[in-house]
Every structure is written in structure tokens, then in C-alpha cells.
């Protein structure tokens, strides 16, 4: 990549990516819909999976789409303004913005939807691949978290195989961050206490404890 970290263009790319990525759509949409504060239920997360725990499937779907498209928008805007190299900077910043939004004291989502949105912008076949892997693992295991972990780990490999080396490096870093964000889920998966897709019993106290 050909850019300087100290250049004004890089700073602007970082700002665009972070500010768009930090929009907490899960919180905004649930508040507009009049539900309780999403941070007080389930895992306390602002992502689509926790929004689904409100029982509002439409809100969860809208959160998923918006969290994905804000990543896509950040990359495409910066790519339009400055070209391809800085779009990777914007992608990284958008993911960080979603996970650590300044508006919510740096306590955001886990990044799955935004990860997909960034794949759409940078190499859309990888986004299709991610979703396919997610669906297969979800069908076999009924674990949403496991599906996201496997799909995110597989994505950099696909990008590398498809000769998208820069994107592969960026998404390797993002995948590691996504795994770090799911460390409590990984512990529950290992202990056999992770909630499955469609399980209405919930794991509220366990999730908060971890």
C-alpha cells in the first residue's frame, strides 16, 4: 500500500471510517421502536443478535443491514475520494468504530455485520463466501457465534487464495479482533453453555458474568 500514516488524506480516511463505523444502529433503531435499552438485555451487546432478543425480528434484520452497510459506505466513500489504498485504512477504522464507539464509552458490537459489509466493499465474492460458510455451520451446529468465528477465519484464506493479498492481511487482523470480541462465546462453546439459534431460554446471567 502506498500512503503515509501522517498525511491529511490518511487522517480523513480514518475519521470517515471511524465515524461511520461508530454509528450504533442497534441502539438507535431499538430506541426509535420504543423497546427497552438493548444494553440491559441478553449480552448487553448492540448488535443484531442481541436486538433479536427483543423479539423484534424486523429490528434485528434492520440492524444487521445497517451495521453492514455503514462499513460498505465508509470504504466506498474513501475509495471514491482517494483511491484504493486508503480504502483499507477506512475499512480498519470502520471496524474499530463499531467495536469501540466513542459515543458509548467504547463499548460497541462484536463486528460480524460490519465485517461482512467491509467484505462487500473490498471483494464482494468473499462476502458471499462468508455468508455461505456461516449458513452451513449454523445449520450443522445451530451456534451463531461459532458460525461467525469459522466464517471470519476462512475469509482471509479465501482472499489470499484469490490473490487479494492486501485484503487478506487486513481481514486477518479484523478476524483476530472479531475472535477476541467473542472470547466469552468461545469459553461458553467450550463449556457447552452457549445458547443456540432459536433457543428462547437465553443465557442472560451467564453472558453478563463472562
The SS3 assignment for 38 reads helix
Q: Write out the DSSP string of 139-186.
A: HHH--HHHHHHHHHHHHHHHHHHTT-HHHHHHHHHHHHHHHHHTHHHH
Residues 6+ apart with CB under 8 A from 150: 133, 134, 137
Q: What is the mean pLDDT of residues 198-203?
A: 55
User: Exposure of 191 by Cβ count < 10 A (0-12 exposed, 13-18 middle, 19+ buried)?
Assistant: exposed
pLDDT score, position 56? 87
Q: Which tens digit of pLDDT belongs to each residue from 94-131? A: 999 999 999 998 989 999 999 999 999 999 999 999 99
Is residue 205 scored above 70 in pLDDT? no
Is residue 192 scored above 50 in pLDDT? yes
Please state the pTM of the whole predicted model.
0.89
Amino acid at each position: 500500500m502506498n500512503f503515509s500514516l501522517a498525511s491529511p488524506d490518511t487522517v480523513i480516511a480514518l475519521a470517515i471510517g471511524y465515524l461511520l463505523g461508530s454509528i450504533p444502529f442497534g441502539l438507535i433503531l431499538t430506541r426509535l421502536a420504543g423497546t427497552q435499552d438493548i444494553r440491559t438485555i441478553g449480552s448487553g451487546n448492540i448488535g443484531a443478535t442481541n436486538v433479536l432478543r427483543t423479539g423484534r425480528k424486523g429490528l434485528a434484520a434492520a440492524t444487521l443491514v445497517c451495521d453492514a452497510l455503514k462499513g460498505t459506505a465508509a470504504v466506498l466513500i474513501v475509495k471514491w475520494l482517494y483511491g484504493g489504498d486508503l480504502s483499507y485504512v477506512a475499512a480498519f477504522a470502520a471496524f474499530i468504530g463499531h467495536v469501540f464507539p466513542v459515543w458509548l464509552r467504547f463499548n460497541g458490537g462484536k463486528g460480524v455485520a460490519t465485517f461482512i459489509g467491509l467484505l462487500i466493499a473490498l471483494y464482494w465474492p468473499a462476502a458471499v463466501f462468508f455468508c455461505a460458510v456461516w449458513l452451513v455451520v449454523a445449520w450443522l451446529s445451530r451456534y451463531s457465534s461459532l458460525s461467525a468465528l469459522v466464517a471470519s477465519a476462512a475469509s482471509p484464506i479465501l482472499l489470499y487464495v484469490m490473490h487479494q493479498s492486501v485484503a487478506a492481511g487486513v481481514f486477518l487482523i479484523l478476524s483476530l479482533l472479531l475472535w477476541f470480541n467473542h472470547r466469552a462465546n468461545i469459553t461458553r462453546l467450550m463449556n457447552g453453555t452457549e445458547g443456540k439459534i432459536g433457543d428462547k431460554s437465553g443465557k442472560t446471567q451467564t453472558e453478563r458474568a463472562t
